[in-house]
A and B are shown apart, each in its own frame.
Chain A
Amino acid sequence: MDGLFTADIENRGLVLDPRTKLFVIITLVIFALGGTGSDIAAVRYGTAAVSILPAVLLLTAKQYGKAAVFGILFVAVKAAQLLLLPYITGAALSILGICCMVFVRLMPGLIMGAYMLSSTTVSEFIAAMHRMHIPQQITIPLSVMFRFFPTVLEEFTSINTAMKMRDIRIGGKYAGRFIEYRLVPLMVCSVNIGSELSAAALTRGLGTKVRRTNICRIGFHVQDIAVLILTAGLYILWILGMIGVVI
């Protein structure tokens, strides 16, 4: 299985603190997706630089294919946006506009989120949330996500195979019920797995009143500081732009 969300902690390359990754995601949402400060040229360049960060991180995790696809798409669409957008009109403009929306604004955050899911272990995540003083009631449900996405994806692949053998496909005889036929088994399997997973976790003491220990060590290293400086720089540029120091 080589899914986007599949955790592969065996060769994840550069190990970043989960808090660093979270900070990058939030920054991408604010600046790339939200378009904050896009009237300031310096912030626009900064946003582009931070947006390409997920590709770099994927490269360090040896996920060359995904890194290349995302990197090239981003650079190509961004270049088209800068060079072509002022000169085109009509349908071409709409299409390019949609492409920009998806590949330049939405994708960086999504890719970063996928990278975070695939490169963070559950214990690192719980440790990070604990350091940020987030209560367990929020942390534990969120941490289940790390197990759940890859598992559902595995189920989904099996269901796909089964559908192929039954000749249920887009354009086939049952195109209209394509989605229903896919969702029913997926939901049944997910619910079964979810309920068995909770039962197993309970028998192993999840949810006791005792304060939970975590043997996982997390902390900020050189690579975290580099990423944090780059990302924080964006906020500084924005503030400087707001008060008119840079344009």
Chain B
Amino acid sequence: MKDAVLLRDVTFQYANGDSGALNEVSMTVQHGECVLLCGASGCGKTTVTRLLNGLIPHYYGGALSGEITVFGRQIRETAIEDLAGTVGSVFQNPRSQFFCVDTTAEIAFGCENMGLPEAEIKQRLSKTVSEMHIQNLLDRSIFNLSGGEKQKIACAGVSAMLPELIVLDEPTSNLDLDAIAELRTVIAAWKAQGKTVIIAEHRLGWLSGLCDRVLFMEKGRISAEYAGDAFFSFTAEKLNGMGLRAFRASRNYLESKPGLHCIRPFESAGSISLTDFKFSYGKHTALNIRNLNLPAGSVTAIVGHNGAGKSTFTRCLCGLQKGFKGRVSIGGKMLRPKDMMQLSYMVMQDVNHQLFAETVLEEVLLGAEESEKDKALSVLEKLDIAEYKDRHPMSLSGGQKQRTAIASALLAGKKLLVLDEPTSGLDFRSMKSAAALLRSLGRDITVLIVTHDNELIDRCCTHMLHIENGSIAPD
């Protein structure tokens, strides 16, 4: 039987100079195989997935040489849209991979484009929906779905087109552990149907037992190849040494009881007391915490399942939630929501939303006085981004943008720093340096981290606040 995928001496350089260039990559994938591509950010794993679905060279231009064959079709001579029935793709960002506004139309979208007869599409639609158990997601608005639900719809849309090969590019970046487990069952089902599956990922644990073969990439080359079983028995130290994330952290913090737990020796120095943290959206009570003392100067992880009320909690704490009536006091001083907004800063998951200025230096000076330029430079030095001070913030990498946002918060004299999923999409090295940075901010600043990343919690948090159903009462 012919190979499903064949890459021979493929070299590629993005025209816009993006990282992720490939250097003489050769690989073959058999029919029905499930292959994992892993490696640090910028190693070229995403680039390989783009070669397979034709986005390179037809959408992302650049200098390409070598031969790429997918199910006997030359990618370089086949238009992306003509590959649609052969190769299905699931992407990283659930916000930007939907064309329709309702779920049913979205699942049918690919089949409609292929011009299949209406009866056939309807039949495929109902088959896909029942196979994936997503009856409850039909006829919903895309904008009302959670990240995990969106990713399921994306998979269903791909499934309905019955492609031979399915490529997934970091599909779990925005998912919590439950949603990841569900994605795993979807992929297992694809495997059982004999489909070829190729996954580029940096979160690895969930793929154990699923992938037959693992290709480890470094600087645009495939530098090692492992059988699935052998790879998934590697120790955390070995993986970290390769620049990869461990399969699982020493413990899963979601298994603890709701409430505030101290997880590392910590000398208390006063507290931030929260009273009447209650909030409802209409009839739905999102948050119901009567009393809570957050240790000042701590690094506290906020964990909980999707929809547990973590973001409502942080929005209320930062004074961003309209109509919130709770009270905060620090050192006996009562603070109104407006004061809290002055004191706190939230680093969002999509940090692009909060970088405004033309250079990094100007950005961090935005909330501060002009005279503080020296202080600004020393903060940039401390955060390891001083060499980029004259670059446009938007031209930096994800981790560097995050640091710029943190630097601007430090300089503006913020005392409470909230980070929303700071490590989604970060590889091991960036995660490690983010953890070191957060730990080193000092006792002067209280850090709250909303995260699903147990490894990050292991590395930097002193406390953990577990919220479920908007409450911290152990049930």
- B116/A206 in contact, CB under 8 A: no
| Bound Cα distance A146, B356 (Å) | 27
B413 to chain A, nearest CB (A): 11
| Bound Cα distance A204, B111 (Å) | 8
Contact of B356 (CB < 8 Å), options: A9, A10, A181, A197 = A181
Contact of B101 (CB < 8 Å), options: A122, A182, A216 = A122
Given known contacts A155-B353, A189-B353, A204 and B161 CB-to-CB distance under 8 angstroms? yes
Contact of A9 (CB < 8 Å), options: B118, B141, B158 = B141
- B101/A212 in contact, CB under 8 A: no
- B-side contacts of A212, CB under 8 Å: 112-113, 115
- B114/A185 in contact, CB under 8 A: no
B153 to chain A, nearest CB (A): 12
Q: Is B81 an interface residue (CB 8 A)?
A: yes
Stretch of B263-271, B302-310, B337-345 with 4 or more beta carbons under 8 angstroms from chain A: B337-345
- Which of B88, B143, B157 is most buried by chain A, counting CB atoms within 10 A of its CB? B143
Query: Scoring A residues 190 to 211 as 1 if CB is less than 8 Å from chain B, else 0, what string do you get?
Result: 0011001111111111111011
Given known contacts A121-B100, A161-B320, A200 and B91 CB-to-CB distance under 8 angstroms? yes
- A204/B91 in contact, CB under 8 A: no
- B-side contacts of A180, CB under 8 Å: 356
Query: Scoring B residues 305 to 348 as 1 if CB is less than 8 Å from chain A, else 0, what string do you get?
Result: 00000000000001010000000000000000000011011101
- B98/A147 in contact, CB under 8 A: yes
Count A/B pairs, Cβ under 8 Å.
190
Query: Scoring A residues 152 to 172 as 1 if CB is less than 8 Å from chain B, else 0, what string do you get?
Result: 001100110111111110000
- A165/B81 in contact, CB under 8 A: no
Contact of A213 (CB < 8 Å), options: B59, B91, B116 = B116
Given known contacts A9-B102, A147-B100, A189 and B350 CB-to-CB distance under 8 angstroms? yes
Given known contacts A7-B143, A166-B367, A216-B105, A208 and B113 CB-to-CB distance under 8 angstroms? yes
| Bound Cα distance A200, B121 (Å) | 20
- B366/A213 in contact, CB under 8 A: no
Contact of A181 (CB < 8 Å), options: B142, B352, B357 = B357
| Bound Cα distance A216, B157 (Å) | 16
Given known contacts A10-B141, A121-B101, A204 and B157 CB-to-CB distance under 8 angstroms? yes
Contact of B141 (CB < 8 Å), options: A7, A192, A208, A214 = A7
Q: Is A123 an interface residue (CB 8 A)?
A: yes
- A204/B84 in contact, CB under 8 A: yes
Query: Scoring A residues 1 to 37 as 1 if CB is less than 8 Å from chain B, else 0, what string do you get?
Result: 1000011111000000000000000000000000000
Q: Is B54 an interface residue (CB 8 A)?
A: yes
- A-side contacts of B344, CB under 8 Å: 165
B392 to chain A, nearest CB (A): 9
| Bound Cα distance A12, B381 (Å) | 54
A159 to chain B, nearest CB (A): 5
The total of chain A residues at the interface (CB under 8 A) is 56
- B-side contacts of A8, CB under 8 Å: 141, 143-144
A44 to chain B, nearest CB (A): 37
Q: Is A184 an interface residue (CB 8 A)?
A: yes
| Bound Cα distance A169, B187 (Å) | 47
- A214/B112 in contact, CB under 8 A: yes
- Which of B54, B82, B100 is most buried by chain A, counting CB atoms within 10 A of its CB? B100
- A-side contacts of B109, CB under 8 Å: 204, 206
- A208/B114 in contact, CB under 8 A: yes
Q: Is A220 an interface residue (CB 8 A)?
A: no
A193 to chain B, nearest CB (A): 5
A11 to chain B, nearest CB (A): 9
A125 to chain B, nearest CB (A): 10
- A158/B118 in contact, CB under 8 A: no
Q: Is B179 an interface residue (CB 8 A)?
A: no
Contact of B84 (CB < 8 Å), options: A10, A198, A208 = A208
| Bound Cα distance A184, B114 (Å) | 38
- A147/B101 in contact, CB under 8 A: yes
- A-side contacts of B350, CB under 8 Å: 158, 189
- B144/A10 in contact, CB under 8 A: yes
- B82/A208 in contact, CB under 8 A: yes
Query: Scoring B residues 49 to 77 as 1 if CB is less than 8 Å from chain A, else 0, what string do you get?
Result: 00001110011100000000000000000
- B115/A196 in contact, CB under 8 A: no
- B-side contacts of A182, CB under 8 Å: 356
| Bound Cα distance A212, B111 (Å) | 9
A224 to chain B, nearest CB (A): 20
- A203/B89 in contact, CB under 8 A: yes
Q: Is B355 an interface residue (CB 8 A)?
A: yes
- B354/A159 in contact, CB under 8 A: yes
Closest residue on chain B to residue A1 by CB atoms: B143
| Bound Cα distance A163, B346 (Å) | 11
| Bound Cα distance A168, B108 (Å) | 44
Q: Is A174 an interface residue (CB 8 A)?
A: yes
Q: Is A215 an interface residue (CB 8 A)?
A: yes
Query: Scoring B residues 108 to 143 as 1 if CB is less than 8 Å from chain A, else 0, what string do you get?
Result: 111111111110011001000000000000011111
| Bound Cα distance A150, B157 (Å) | 21
| Bound Cα distance A158, B346 (Å) | 11
| Bound Cα distance A213, B114 (Å) | 8
Contact of B354 (CB < 8 Å), options: A154, A166, A174, A214 = A166
- B59/A165 in contact, CB under 8 A: no
| Bound Cα distance A7, B143 (Å) | 8
**Residues in A lying within 8 Å of B, measured CB to CB:** 1, 6-10, 121-123, 144, 146-147, 150-151, 154-155, 158-159, 161-168, 174, 180-182, 184-185, 188-189, 192-193, 196-208, 210-216
Interface CB pairs A-B, < 8 A, 24 = A1-B143, A121-B100, A123-B108, A147-B99, A147-B100, A154-B95, A161-B348, A162-B346, A162-B354, A165-B341, A165-B345, A166-B356, A166-B412, A168-B366, A185-B352, A189-B350, A200-B99, A202-B58, A204-B161, A205-B81, A206-B81, A206-B113, A210-B113, A215-B121
Besides A203-B83, A205-B85, A213-B114, 12 more A-B contacts (Cβ < 8 Å) are: A10-B144, A167-B412, A189-B353, A197-B99, A200-B96, A200-B97, A202-B59, A202-B81, A203-B53, A212-B115, A213-B111, A215-B125
